[in-house]
């Protein structure tokens, strides 16, 4: 009887928790939709390009928060078009291009992502932003990997690693090259070089474990995702 009651209690508790999660998620989605609707209304009533650029960027982020990536891309494209027409902000163009090319990669539009990455590369070089070049080459590496061009993918991943190593900003993620090393290992494994893949995976794994930030934020950090990525690669390698 006790075991039966305990089982029913657990099931009841789980149902309550599921209901709470659904309600919280529903409230969040409704709040985000309200925000999206408000931004769209303000955009329609705004005449100045500068304000519209800022609003379209905010709309793009709002769509991104609720995983509506196609709508997010369209919003950032609107912001970019106005930005380029009015020559408002080169840094803004770089940000808009970065959002677009990455989300196109995430949604599987690799060729289109490459086209926007090329534009981002040109803007970033014009700004002489050496550090941001590391991020641009990461996107190139991602796209070429998915397109099966592993040689070009490795070429861009190593360029990314080079820029991140040389041009480290004081407040940048200290483990950014851990991720780049894991990307390199992933490609090396795809071209049947498990020994080399193992070396880069071990480098990434050890560097994250040695970082005090990872220890402090374990379970809720980017570094935790690096560890999970490394473990998956270890499994595939062995």
Instruction: Give 8-33 pLDDT, tens digit per residue.
Output: 555 555 555 555 454 445 555 566 77
pLDDT score for 108: 96
**CB 226 within 8 Å of CB 182:** yes
pLDDT score for 138: 96
**CB 227 within 8 Å of CB 205:** yes
Nearby residues of 62 by Cβ (< 8 Å), 6 or more positions away: 32, 35, 36, 39
Say if residue 172's pLDDT is above 70: no
The model's pLDDT over 83-135, given as tens digits with 9 standing for 90+, comes to: 999 999 999 999 999 999 999 999 999 999 999 999 999 999 999 888 899 99
Among 68, 137, 78, 149, residue whose Cα is nearest residue 107: 68
Long-range contacts of 56-60 (CB under 8 A, 24+ apart): 56/82, 57/92, 57/95, 57/96, 60/96, 60/99
**CB 214 within 8 Å of CB 221:** yes
Cα 71 to chain centroid, rounded:
17
Both tokens assigned to 113: 């992502």
pTM: 0.80
The model's pLDDT over 174-194, given as tens digits with 9 standing for 90+, comes to: 567 899 999 999 999 999 999
Instruction: Report CA-CA distances (Å) from 105 to 60, 85, 136, 221.
Output: 16, 25, 12, 22
Residue 187 has a CB neighbour count (10 Å cut-off) of 20
Both tokens assigned to 161: 């690693």
């Amino acid at each position: 009887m006790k075991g039966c009651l305990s089982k029913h209690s657990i099931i009841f508790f789980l149902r309550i928790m599921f209901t709470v999660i659904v309600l919280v998620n529903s409230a969040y989605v409704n709040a985000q939709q309200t925000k999206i609707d408000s931004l769209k209304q303000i955009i329609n009533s705004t005449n100045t390009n500068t304000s519209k650029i800022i609003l379209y960027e905010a709309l793009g982020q709002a769509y991104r928060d609720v995983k509506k990536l196609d709508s997010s891309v369209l919003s950032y494209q609107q912001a970019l078009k106005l930005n380029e027409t009015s020559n408002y902000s080169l840094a803004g163009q770089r940000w808009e291009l970065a959002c677009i090319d990455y989300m196109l990669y995430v949604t599987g539009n690799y060729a289109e992502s490459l086209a926007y990455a090329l534009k981002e590369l040109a803007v970033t070089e014009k700004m002489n932003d050496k550090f941001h070049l590391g991020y641009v080459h990461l996107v190139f590496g991602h796209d070429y990997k998915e397109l099966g061009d592993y040689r070009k993918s490795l070429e861009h991943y190593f360029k990314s690693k080079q820029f991140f190593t040389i041009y480290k900003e004081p407040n940048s993620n200290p483990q950014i090259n851990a991720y780049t090393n894991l990307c390199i290992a992933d490609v090396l494994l795809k071209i049947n070089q498990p020994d080399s893949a193992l070396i880069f995976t071990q480098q990434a794994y050890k560097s994250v474990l040695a970082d005090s930030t990872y220890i402090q934020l374990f379970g809720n950090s980017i570094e935790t995702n690096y560890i999970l990525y490394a473990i998956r690669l270890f499994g595939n390698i062995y």
